Amino acid sequence: MMTAMKHARTLLAAILLAPLVAVAADGPPLPTPTLADVAYGPHPKQVLDFWKADSAKPTPLLFYIHGGGWTFGKRAFVGTAVEAMLKRGISVVSIEYRFIAEATADGLVPPVKGPLLDAARALQFVRSKAVEWNIDKSRIAASGNSAGACSSLWLAFHPDLADPKSADPVARESTRLRCVAVSAAQTTLDPQQMKEWTPNSMYGGHAFGFKSFAEFLSNRDKILPWLAEYSPYALVSADDPPVYLSYGAPPALGQPQKDPTHTSNFGLKLQEKCKAVGVSCELFYPGAPDVQHRSVLEFLLDKLNSKRARH
């Protein structure tokens, strides 16, 4: 049993990290951050790196959240993407955050509150630095892969977490975004939806303190308030920003998938819901119809360099 579990973890790590490692190995090294290891909270993991674009006017900003199932990984970004942003006058932030184990150790229930609330706090912190860092608060986009993509979507769809009455100036800042562009995103954390969309789903239980997907699914009715608060799909509303979703293979709803944790079934169902309430949601996969942007990077450059958000 232990050998099988270890093999599964190794395989998951390989799946999640392969796209980043492959591109980073072929491309230039990551540019040196303007500011490194900037603390946005008291925990050692609550740190970020900042790359400042050279501009006389306040710049748009890309807010990046790394993947790794909320259980591993570190702040990272493909060097070519940072260079592309900086050359077009877009600053970049890449954050670290508490993982599930660290959130559990801190007594957070459910554990997914750790990575999600850390992402929100980091975004508020960045906005609080807008003048000092020459950032346009109205043009901030989030991006990430896998769990980082899920966190980005949660920020996009969640009502603003700003507390205007807070004594903490950071907490008074908004968590709303101009747009979101992500890859291999889990768009729901509801085990019933995952099972219906992709029968061999097995992801997400750890986010709520369960040791297996079977336990997660059997306890679903007991955690409906958590799903309503932390599942991106459950939070979609008409005032949300434009979304771009990228996947490596076409969807096949209701059929087992080679990689159920990163299937484009997630994207297809989110796109359906977004369209139903009038939120722009572009879905890319090989052979996808009606694609306006061929990549996450192309979408981000278009939206962040526009004067107004195009929904």
Q: Where are the domains of the chain?
A: 2-304
Residue of 121, 117, 112 lying closest to 227 (CA atoms): 112
pLDDT tens digits, 223-240: 999 999 999 999 999 999
Q: Is 60 left (phi over 0), alpha (psi -120 to 50) or beta?
A: beta
Question: How much of the chain, in percent, has pLDDT values that exceed 70?
Answer: 89
- CA gap 212, 182 in Å, rounded: 26
Q: Give the angle subtended at the CA of 279 by the CAs of 126 and 87, to the nearest 5°.
A: 45
Residue 64 has pLDDT above 50, yes or no: yes
**Element spanning 270, H or E:** helix 265-277
Question: How much of the chain, in percent, has pLDDT values that exceed 90?
Answer: 85
Confidence tier at 306 by pLDDT (50, 70, 90): confident
What pLDDT, on a 0 to 100 scale, did the predictor assign at position 266?
98
What pLDDT, on a 0 to 100 scale, did the predictor assign at position 16?
36
pLDDT tens digits, 89-122: 999 999 999 999 999 999 999 999 999 999 999 9
Q: Is 135 left (phi over 0), alpha (psi -120 to 50) or beta?
A: beta
CB distance 267 to 251 below 8 Å: yes
What pLDDT, on a 0 to 100 scale, did the predictor assign at position 308?
53
- CA gap 104, 209 in Å, rounded: 8
What pLDDT, on a 0 to 100 scale, did the predictor assign at position 17?
36
Confidence tier at 75 by pLDDT (50, 70, 90): confident
What pLDDT, on a 0 to 100 scale, did the predictor assign at position 13?
36
Homologous superfamily in CATH for domain 2-304:
Alpha/Beta hydrolase fold, catalytic domain (3.40.50.1820)
User: What is the number of helices (H) and of strands (E) in the chain?
Assistant: 12, 8
pLDDT tens digits, 260-291: 999 999 999 999 999 999 999 999 999 999 89
Residue 146: HSE in the Cβ half-sphere, 13 Å Cα cutoff = 23
What pLDDT, on a 0 to 100 scale, did the predictor assign at position 307?
59
Detail the DSSP E strand segments found in 74-224.
91-95, 135-145, 179-183
What pLDDT, on a 0 to 100 scale, did the predictor assign at position 226?
98
Instruction: Give the count of beta carbons closer than 10 Å to the beta carbon of residue 308.
Output: 9
Residue 55 has pLDDT above 70, yes or no: yes
Q: Output the CA–CA distances (angstroms, integers) from residue 83 to 14, 60, 130, 297, in the order listed.
A: 26, 14, 21, 11
**Element spanning 282, H or E:** strand 281-284
Residue 69 has pLDDT above 50, yes or no: yes
pLDDT tens digits, 117-144: 999 999 999 999 999 999 999 999 999 9
- Residue whose pair of structure tokens reads 């997630």 in the numeric block: 266
**What value does the mean pLDDT of the chain take?**
90
- CA gap 72, 99 in Å, rounded: 7
